[in-house]
Amino acid sequence: MILKLLAVSIAGAILCLDRIVVQAMVSRPIVAAPLIGLILGDPYTGLIVGAFIELFWIDRLPIGIYIPPNDTIAAILVTAASIESAQLLGYRSQGLMVLAILITVPFGLLAQSSERWIGKQNERLVEEALRDASRGDVRSISRRHLTAILKHFILSVAFIMVAMFLVIHAMTWLYPRLAPPIIRGLTLLYGFLPLLGAAVALNTINVRGIVPIFCASFLCATVIIGLMRNG
């Protein structure tokens, strides 16, 4: 399990770099979560989780100095927690995925604060890079850029690793102890979440176009089919 968590942490940190460096959109939950699911042998769970998280925060755009919640880390943690908890418990359920979302999504807000802190720390590197530029020291400028990227990568690995460890252990301890009515409530909530995501997507139709609505429709259909099969 430790090796799995380490692999997910490294892969997740690489995906998080896309938010600040490459920006090729591979950090989007709909892409990142299935990739993490593929690493853990369950890309289908990653696809469902990615669709959920993508729709929840699709209206939070990184405009100007605003840093949105870290939906990449949220998607990575929910996917890993759902898959690993199911394997440790010996069964999987829709309620287990919902519990993973409820426990893990706040980590996306915590990671948002972490990104703000990193940004403030990097301001010092910017000032030093400007001094290097005034001296014509190109190598120092390049080194400071790489330092900022490496710092972000290391902190992301540590954050994902610790958060996964805490969430997986919390879920494997808590879920078997939940009363049957609570488990049924979590299962019902699984069917409600796509509707919530569709409502958020409708608010972004003027900005994002019809794509979010298509994703919401796909997710609703997938969830309905899943509920019918389990029913």
Q: How far apart are CA 74 and CA 70, in angstroms?
A: 6
Statement: the pTM of the whole predicted model exceeds 0.85: no
- Predicted pLDDT at 210: 46
* pLDDT tens, position by position, 210-230: 455 455 555 555 555 455 555
* pLDDT tens, position by position, 68-82: 778 889 999 999 999
* Half-sphere exposure for 148 (CA within 13 Å, toward CB): 21
Instruction: Please identify which residue in the block is written with the tokens 């929910």.
Output: 78
Q: How far apart are the first and last CA of the chain?
A: 32
Give me 12's structure tokens. Answer: 């997740």
CB 219 within 8 A of CB 29: no
Instruction: Please identify which residue in the block is written with the tokens 């989780």.
Output: 49
* pLDDT tens, position by position, 33-56: 999 999 999 988 888 888 888 877
The 8-class DSSP code of residue 93 comes to -
Over residues 179-206, mean pLDDT: 72
* pLDDT tens, position by position, 138-183: 677 677 777 778 888 998 899 999 999 999 999 999 999 989 888 8
- Predicted pLDDT at 69: 78
pLDDT band of 10, cuts 50, 70, 90: very high
